[in-house]
Structure 1
Amino acid sequence: MAVLNKAMAAAMLAMSAIASSSAALPEQETLERLARMRAMPAAAAGQEAQRQRRDLDAAWRWFGNHKTTALPVLRRELAAELKKPKPSQLVLLDVGYFLRALGEPADRALSMQALLAIDPAGIVPKTQAEQLFRFIHASAADRDPRLFPLIDKVFLRGDVTVLVPQHGYTVDATSVCIYLYGQFGTRAEQHLRGLLNDPAVVNRVLEVLMWVGSPDSVPAVARLLDSTDADTFARAATFMLRAGGPQGRDALLAFDPRRLEGKARQFYLQTRPQLSGMHFDALVQQLSDSPPSEKAAPPRRLDEAAARQLLAALFASHGSYEGIQPIELALAAMPSAQLIDELLRLRERSLLRISGEALADIDTTNTLINTLRFRPN
């Protein structure tokens, strides 16, 4: 009997050792992959950067397939990395983003620390800008203004485009900025207004404000109508038409065009006739003239309950207007201020979708918002 008990004890000890060894294997592999990440050269570019990305993506897949074991190691190692005088930028990028995308809600604070520790002039923006875009895009919903310097330096002042292979679509440099700043709401608009005096970025700032701005920016943009740069003038005038509401229209009507020359004057003369038609009835008619979706029924007159139901459907689909007539919301029996607030929330949610279709839907939402600003109530 004693011999049997000893044999059973030995077997249990062996099984425990095997289990411990099995658990240690993924942990050791996680550490080894992090070590390889740290060892990647700091000046990679071109094909070398692409090879690095493939290796980093392979590490991501491995971490994801062994998430239960990998996450505690990644948390511990990232926290330790952040304490170093010169942390590995690739570890900050990929481990930080992994924790944001696939970690627990409690990991977001550590992930944000990693993102804020990325050097705007370092290896990551130079060789891994697309992954940095994804990391910031996933984190922008936190509306942490400490991200603005990084976004400004890398994306607003840079020329980063992002390939979305699953859609066969490349996000252009301005749209990249729209996707990032747009999730910050009014805070981003205020920040961007502060950059309108910077000639190095003024044109791109205006392009972004066309998508995420409001009549609050009309006074600041109106000063740019006196610009001697035709491109800046055209963008300022376009902002007034697209996002300025009645205030933007009135600013253009009050503008004295006599000093305009060349392309700026031509643009103004083409734009000026539109101003007389910028009132609610005419803008709604333009919505009515738009070709409806193939799945859309004839427009209905919605009461407030039906309007909120339609908004809920849009919110659930992240802003897809398939099967929906925008004019129904423009004419809905719901206070225009409340409709605008809901559509602004919808726009931020739509920015979570990265595709050409998403931008088309956001453009529709923006058209609705600007139209509703002309509605009496």
Structure 2
Amino acid sequence: MTGSSMAVTKTIVALAAACCMAAAVAAPADETLQRLGQIRAMPAATGPQDALRQRGELDAAWRWFGNHKADALPVLRRELAAELKKAQPNQLLLLDVGYFLRAQGEPSDRALALQALLRIDPAGTVPQSQSQQLFRYVHALAAERDVRLFPLLDKVFLRGRVTVFLPQQGYTVDETSTCIYLYGQYGVAAERHLRGLLGDASVVNRALEVLMWVGSPDSVPAVAALLSTADADTFARAATFLLRAGGPQGRDALLAFDPRGLQGKTLEFYRQTRGQLDRMTFDALANQLVEVAEDRAPAAPAAIRGLDAAAARQVFATLHATYGSYEGIAPAAIARAALPRQALIDELVKVRERSLLRVSGEALADIDTTNTLINTVRFRD
């Protein structure tokens, strides 16, 4: 072979190798587009089994994107942005690509993920067939506190029947708890929004159930007005809110209520509630917390009497780091901590918001403890 022939052969081999390398580099991007095309082509699920099969296919695409994230992310960003410009964007693509960008993308992807979530149709196929994935998506973005999501939350979760199974824990988040996890992250904005729904008979009971966990004395007047209802279930929820979240204002509202028009189950519940009101003082409520302390972390009487300011701040730092776990912490000591009442309440509200990031049965138990603490501290002088 002549020198010129050898040179030509080497050039051909080099070009072929370069083409192979280019193809290898381009393959993940092409595969990403192919998988997005498969998502777009998926028909609406026709039933639970069909939705489960669809979820399996979507999860397979999710895993592939995760395994090729460096190559997939630019394509996903570009394609999602293009999809959002359409009058009727593909709902499954909005759901899974938007959530993927929120969960595994860069911080700068949050805005795009939020735009995608806002374009999901509350009355469309996604809430019907992929409600559990939608819950995870909304939960991941609820901390942004964008009130434009309230119509979606109201339609799908507050008025719907969404439960979420957590396979790693063998635990199912019930219908009310899904709302607690979502609305709770909005703080006072959620309380104000839910309070505005108390006049809607179709949703008042669920709204009251959520307010028990995320409400405050600010809602006492609106909730106390419901004590005149003829519906026993609504009465029970309203009275429970006043006891659990209303502080002294809730107690006083129940004391001022005239029960002469009550009868049946409503009157029976009122009598049970009325019997608790005389025991609603700070000392009595704080003493009840001692039982919680003994269940979770037996402590010396000196610790139950209260934490000094430095120890209290350390406890709150620990609660923040553990996403609100009271393991090894005596709640009664917090109630009597040497911090101003409002400072304690503010810290406990932060703990509750932190706990809401941890979706589990244990988290709900910890949130219940935090709420008991908040209501107890409201009775401090």
Q: How many residues align?
A: 376
CA 1:12–1:357 in structure 2 vs 1: closer, same or farther (change >3 Å)?
same
Distance (Å, rounded) in 1 between the aligned partners of 2:57 and 2:108: 27
1:230-277 Cα deviation digits (max 9, x unpaired): 110000000000000000000000000000011000000011011001
Distance (Å, rounded) in 1 between the aligned partners of 2:368 and 2:281: 19
The SS at the match of 1:292 is helix
Distance (Å, rounded) in 2 between the aligned partners of 1:160 and 1:127: 11
Q: Cα distance, 1:44 vs. partner?
A: 3.0
Distance (Å, rounded) in 1 between the aligned partners of 2:10 and 2:29: 29
CA 1:314–1:8 in structure 2 vs 1: closer, same or farther (change >3 Å)?
farther
Distance (Å, rounded) in 2 between the aligned partners of 1:152 and 1:260: 31
The TM-score with structure 1 as length reference comes to 0.96
CA RMSD of aligned residues (A): 1.5
**Alignment counterpart, residue 170 of structure 2, candidates 164, 168, 172:** 168
Map residues 241-280 of structure 1 onto 2, 5 A cutoff. Answer: 241-280=243-282
**Alignment counterpart, residue 154 of structure 1, candidates 135, 156, 161:** 156
Confirm or deny: 8 A CA contact 1:45 1:126 kept in the other structure: no
Distance (Å, rounded) in 2 between the aligned partners of 1:305 and 1:4: 81
2:194 counterpart residue number: 192
Map residues 1-377 of structure 1 onto 2, 5 A cutoff. Answer: 12-290=14-292, 292-293=294-295, 295-298=297-300, 300=303, 301-376=306-381
1:335-358 Cα deviation digits (max 9, x unpaired): 111111011011011011111110
Counterpart AA for 1:357: E
Identical counterparts, % of pairs: 68
The TM-score with structure 2 as length reference comes to 0.95
The SS at the match of 2:201 is coil
Q: Cα distance, 1:10 vs. partner?
A: 5.1
Q: Cα distance, 1:15 vs. partner?
A: 3.7
Confirm or deny: 8 A CA contact 1:293 1:325 kept in the other structure: no
Distance (Å, rounded) in 2 between the aligned partners of 1:121 and 1:350: 30
CA 1:245–1:32 in structure 2 vs 1: closer, same or farther (change >3 Å)?
same
Q: Cα distance, 1:148 vs. partner?
A: 0.2
CA 1:348–1:5 in structure 2 vs 1: closer, same or farther (change >3 Å)?
farther
Runs (4+) off by over 6 Å: 1-8
CA 1:275–1:20 in structure 2 vs 1: closer, same or farther (change >3 Å)?
same
Confirm or deny: 8 A CA contact 1:215 1:244 kept in the other structure: yes
Q: Cα distance, 1:69 vs. partner?
A: 0.3
Confirm or deny: 8 A CA contact 1:99 1:108 kept in the other structure: yes
Confirm or deny: 8 A CA contact 2:239 2:254 kept in the other structure: yes
Counterpart AA for 2:53: R
The SS at the match of 1:142 is coil
Unaligned 5+ segments in structure 2 are none
The SS at the match of 1:290 is helix
Confirm or deny: 8 A CA contact 1:293 1:322 kept in the other structure: no
